[in-house]
A and B are shown apart, each in its own frame.
Chain A
Amino acid sequence: MAPIKKNPANQINSKSLRARLDKSASHLFYQPAGTRSTPSPTQRTQSLLHVPKLLSSTQNDLQRLEKALTAAKSGSSKRAFQSLPRSLRRRTASHNVKRVPKRMRARALREMKEKKDDDVKAGGNTKKIKGILLKREKGLSKARKLYLMRRMRKLLRYTTHLKRKGQLAIVSPMLFRKALIRNQMKQLSIQIRDLKPSQSPLNNSVGSFDNSAAFALAKFKPHAIKYVKRQRDAAWLPTHIWHAKRAKMEKKWGFAISQTPTLKSHRNTHRKSVRDGCVVWDTSYTGTMVLRFIGNTAKAEMKAVLEYLSHNSKLKDGRAWYGNIFTGQEMNGPGEILRVKEDLAVRVHPAFYKVVYTMVRVMRKTNNFCFEMEDCRYALGSIDLVGPNALNAVASILYTTNKNSAQSRLFFKIQQVRDLDTIPVGTAISLECEDPRRYLHPTKHHSRLTNDEMLDAVLELSHNKGVDADIVKRLLTKEGRVSSYANQPSLKDLGRRRANADTERTIPKLSSDPTIPVLLVRHEIGFRLILPWFWVLPFWHQLTKVPHVFVGGLRQYHQVLTERGMLYFPTDYPFTPKGMHSSLLDTMDLEDKYVKKPAAKRVKYSQFRVYEDRELRGEHGTPFGSDWTFLKFLRLVVKDLKEYTKEGDKLVDYLSSRLKDSIADKPTQPFVLSSFFNSEKKLKVWLRDNWRKIYTAPNIADRPSRLNMLETAGIDDTEEVTWNNLSVFGKDHLNLRSNPLNHLVESLIESADFDATFKSKLAGDRGNFDTEGGKRVGETEESNDIEIIGAQDFNRVLEPDMDKDQELHYWLNLAAEKDFDQDQVDLDEEHKRIIANPQGLLEETNFFMGVFKRRPRKIAQLPIELARDLEVCPKRNRRLPVKMIKFTVISTGNPKKHARVYSSNGETNPGPENMIGYVTSANYNMSLGRVSGVACVAAEELHGYLSIRNIGETTFAQIQWSAIEL
């Protein structure tokens, strides 16, 4: 390679540069001739910058620069879709013009063509432009394409054929599983042939139907034949397809639910929910059961049921109640009860819906009540709205049929209220609406009402003026909902009508157009719109067109609740069975992730020194989450020890000071015990005395209550309790339990009378779970059977010639014949079964908690005992009484979920004996500028100052807290 020739003239260094600058700038300075060599002081002042001269000389340059800048701006390489706001950007917009908003489409198309020309010139991509011309030609093989086309053709033929007949084909997911394609086709055609045309048709062409069941649990029937296969594990909400394009979906509680939008959303959620808009959710996964009280005892029965479910027998007509739903004494989680005349609509979280429904059914049977029960899980849907714009937004999509009705007038009076707090929780408004899709855009309502007028409307609403019993009846009865689907127009129908209309904005109303009953209820944080299942989507589409509306997922719901210091189910409900399950699942998930990491990348929790001033090593409890069992034992042990020495808090101080010495000698000793007793010998004596105390007491009640926990099955009162009996130096399984305290607790558990699966879980050996032969619960044998589930059942539901009463009776009879639903069981047997094994019911329904895809195993078999560790009621024995608190961090620190809570009592460095609970939710609260959250702590220790420490960290954050009353 030839060396680069250096041209001395072009060489740039500081010297040459300065020389050139001097040369070029010299003419700008005024320098009289002949005086250059020795300038006098006056001459020096004269040789200053001559601005006009400078400007005139650089004018050309500046102009050229300006021109270049403007040229660069207009002819920039920025494509049309790149200038869109985030929420309007689509992944495929770069190659599909139909993904770009209409107003920019011409530009996008032009750019695309230019780019294509460039590509072709460069000898590259010759693909046609997508969205305008055909789809890409290469890809699938000819045979595959042929198959797909044939399949589509057939499916389409069948669906259109059936729809024309007014029937809905419900195809088993099995159909598309393993059978040969030809066989599948054959079987399908047989099934189609067998469908008798005489069976009763649907009352609409879009396939909407009412899927409810009386005295039984309704079975989900997918709406569209095309998507049967995808709904095997989890039912789709009405807005599933809309959400699936815009959010991360998660299979939870038997539904596919949006977890979080793909857009960044933490700040947006806060702003929209607090300041300048509203956040909306499709909450159709909430289960609804309708209870109809009839006969002479209606009122008394209703009272009893209310008492049973809500522990509060009073509920005014036309109002809703929000709170925790019980079944007898067991708290399940949050729910709402709406009362209209003699009907109750109970809406609860899907995680425990089945439990509540079945328990109410059992209660009805036990007491010989005669109310009617209907499961409307898949028949009623709902949309939640939170934020200052919530009412305004929902008002802009609700077109009431009777504008002069009392409800409608009141509703439009309050629609502009910004603080939802103005309207009391439980206020309900029923409305009868038109199909919102008749209007091209949502309609904004401007009202010039004064504050007083709006308040009067709110007052009127609180006197039960908002609810029209007839409208609610339409919503809560099967025939009512079915009537709302009559002639439900498809989008195609609407488009056709719009094309023929004079104005594009509104489609003229037809007399056959359906009217839809809806119910708007003020819930704890916002409003909830309840409407028939197949009307959720049309309303949803309109709602998303309203400005300043932000669509959230489960995570956003959680955020909004945590910001308000409220509890989110199931995360903040560890004292309920389902909440505890969710907590355990979280822990297991994190542990799985940890184990999958290579050893070198793992945090060594066992070696981690939690307290800087103490030698103790290892994180407390499991480092993967909240270890409730550990907490329970810790609290009980610490308390017992305090009681034993009768010195109370002083002891802790004393021991803390002695700690270093004692631990330094014997690092493997159980921390708490050794720290309290300072020697193994003393501990042994203590244990021996206490075991004797326990076992010589004549009955359980006389034994020291806290020591009941230490009760063992294998040790009788004559045997001397030795160190080995407790097997404190037990297995060191995952090397995660090397914390001596863990050893102690583990040994206590091992000796206690616990479920074997639970023990094995704690022992770290989780491979022994009974998973029913390797299958998840609820999964059936694979087979090639082809069936059309429930088609016959469904079609029998509606007989067009019947009047409403007849139809209802016909339908109830069907239910009684056990023919209506596959889930139908003999009530007596069911009752007996549940009485015999009440826990079985909980276990059965456990799989609802499961995340099917990620964790198909073990879920059903988690021990129920564990779920009963915590209790919000302080009177119970053998459980750890807990309280929920909301907190704000007042020092520096960023506590996360599962952080440990300490009662610091003003001490700077709390020790393990001060640990009293876990943080269940925490996030950065934008309005406070700090982290706030919710924690679950031992109730008896809840006083004074609290501090928080994250897992794997040594710093403590101070918090300000207040208890949440449940």
Chain B
Amino acid sequence: MKTKQKAPKLERIEGRLVKHGSARSFSYQEINRALYIRGDTPFTSAVKHVEKMLDKLSAKTGKRGVESFGNTKFITVIGMGKAIEKVLSLGVFLKAEKLYRVDVLTKSVGVLDEFRKETKSSRIINHETQTESLNTFSDTPERAGEHIVELADSSDDSGDDSEDDITMRKRNVSAVELRVWRKMV
């Protein structure tokens, strides 16, 4: 039997990690047809959202007050990472309790990781060196006005410029998509 090969684990890059979402594209139509579930989305509210969206699909009222059915026959519920479990249990619930037809698809979604090398903020350093007895009621603008800087030799910091303090990396996250079909009348 073939053993499954695991994808190599990504190396941790130095710096603070700032997570960015996947690049979903904007479509006005999609707003009422796709539901994105997060890890902290409450289960019941997700169920209500799904039912409301399905209601909207079927109860499209035309100009003359006649109910018409659009071409769309299902809505999608998507969750990735931590939310997968929630999405799946939502699927089971919709299928078993609410008697909807539910399809499950798996996929992977690319996201961006940003690693920021934090330079020690000079602001904090300044605060630490400030003495307790400073009369701050008048000190600041004077200090600002007399702000004298010693310039470093420009040849020294030429390398400083190219230094990359922000690193970006793409990462794939597994995701699951439910298709919840509207009930045919």
- Chain A residues with CB under 8 Å of chain B are 275-276, 296-301, 303-304, 307-308, 311-314, 316-317, 326-330, 359, 362-363, 366-367, 388-389, 391-392, 414, 416-419, 421-424, 447, 449, 451-452, 454-456, 458-459, 462, 547-548, 700-701, 705, 831, 834-835, 838-839, 841-842, 865, 868, 871, 873-879
Contact = CB atoms under 8 A, between A and B. Distances in A.
Contact of B28 (A276, A422, A454): A276
Nearest to A460: B168
A76 to B, nearest CB: 16
A416 B30 CA distance: 13
A441 to B, nearest CB: 16
Contact of B121 (A311, A421, A424, A868): A311
A378 B152 CA distance: 35
A821 to B, nearest CB: 23
Interface stretch (B7-15, B92-100, B124-132): B124-132
16 contacts: A307-B122, A307-B149, A311-B122, A312-B121, A329-B126, A359-B144, A362-B145, A367-B149, A419-B24, A454-B23, A455-B112, A459-B112, A842-B141, A868-B137, A873-B127, A874-B127
B173 to A, nearest CB: 11
Nearest to B24: A418
B134 A366 contact: no
Contact of A419 (B21, B144, B145, B154): B21
A359 B22 contact: no
Nearest to B21: A419
B158 interface: yes
A190 to B, nearest CB: 45
Contact of A418 (B25, B121, B151): B25
A875 B130 contact: yes
A163 B138 CA distance: 52
Contact of A459 (B21, B127, B170): B170
B51 interface: no
Interface in B1-60: 18, 20-26, 28, 31
A620 B165 CA distance: 48
B146 A835 contact: yes
Contact of A875 (B22, B121, B122, B127): B127
Interface of B: 18, 20-26, 28, 31, 109-112, 114, 119, 121-123, 126-128, 130, 132-149, 151-154, 157-158, 160-161, 163-166, 168, 170
Nearest to B171: A455
Contact of B20 (A363, A389, A424, A834): A424
A875 B128 contact: yes
Contacts of B140: 328-330, 838, 868
Contacts of B137: 865, 868, 878
B153 to A, nearest CB: 8
A685 to B, nearest CB: 29
Contacts of B149: 304, 307-308, 367
A298 B154 contact: yes
B147 A422 contact: no
B134 A839 contact: no
Nearest to B107: A451
Contacts of A878: 135-137
Nearest to B30: A418
A836 B161 CA distance: 37
Given A300-B157, A303-B152, A841-B141, 14 more contacts: A296-B154, A297-B154, A299-B154, A300-B151, A317-B161, A328-B145, A367-B149, A417-B25, A451-B23, A451-B24, A458-B168, A834-B145, A875-B127, A877-B136
Given A705-B132, A875-B130, A330 B141 contact: yes
Contacts, number: 181
A277 to B, nearest CB: 8
Contact of A314 (B22, B145, B165): B165
A839 B140 CA distance: 9
A314 B116 CA distance: 12
Given A418-B26, A879-B136, A299 B161 contact: yes
A459 B121 contact: no
Contacts of B133: 700-701, 877
Contacts of A276: 28, 31
A311 B123 CA distance: 6
B114 A424 contact: yes
B138 A839 contact: yes
A340 B136 CA distance: 36
A414 B23 contact: yes
B65 to A, nearest CB: 11
A389 B137 CA distance: 47
Which of B31, B109, B149: most chain A Cβ within 10 A?
A: B149
Contacts of A328: 140-141, 143-145, 147
Nearest to A834: B145
A329 B170 contact: no
A326 B143 CA distance: 12
Contacts of A367: 147-149, 151
B20 A421 contact: yes
Contacts of A451: 22-24, 109-110
A699 to B, nearest CB: 9
A838 B121 contact: no
B110 A455 contact: yes
Contacts of A304: 149, 151
Nearest to B121: A311
Contacts of B168: 424, 458-459, 462
A359 B122 contact: no
B2 to A, nearest CB: 27
A451 B121 CA distance: 36
Contacts of B26: 388-389, 391-392, 416-418
Contacts of B109: 451
Contact of B134 (A456, A835, A877): A877
A452 B170 CA distance: 9
Given A300-B154, A316-B165, A366-B148, A329 B20 contact: no
A841 B140 CA distance: 12
B50 to A, nearest CB: 17
A303 B149 CA distance: 10
A842 B145 CA distance: 13
Which of B25, B111, B114: most chain A Cβ within 10 A?
A: B25
Contacts of B161: 299, 317
Contacts of B164: 316
Given A424-B18, A876-B130, A877-B132, A300 B152 contact: yes
Contacts of B144: 327-330, 359, 363, 838
A421 B121 CA distance: 24
A893 B120 CA distance: 41
Given A276-B28, A417-B26, A422-B21, A838 B142 contact: yes
Which of B114, B123, B151, B163: most chain A Cβ within 10 A?
A: B123
A839 B165 contact: no
A326 B111 CA distance: 35
Contacts of B145: 328, 359, 362-363, 366, 831, 834-835, 838
Contact of B119 (A312, A459, A547, A842): A312
Contacts of B126: 311, 329
A953 B50 CA distance: 41
A842 B147 CA distance: 17
A297 B166 contact: no
Nearest to A308: B147
A831 B144 CA distance: 12
Given A462-B166, A838-B141, A875-B130, A455 B23 contact: yes
Contacts of B135: 877-878
A389 B111 CA distance: 20
A926 to B, nearest CB: 14
B15 to A, nearest CB: 13
A301 B147 contact: no
Given A455-B170, A841-B141, A449 B25 contact: yes
A363 to B, nearest CB: 5
Nearest to A365: B145
Contacts of B147: 308, 328, 363, 366-367
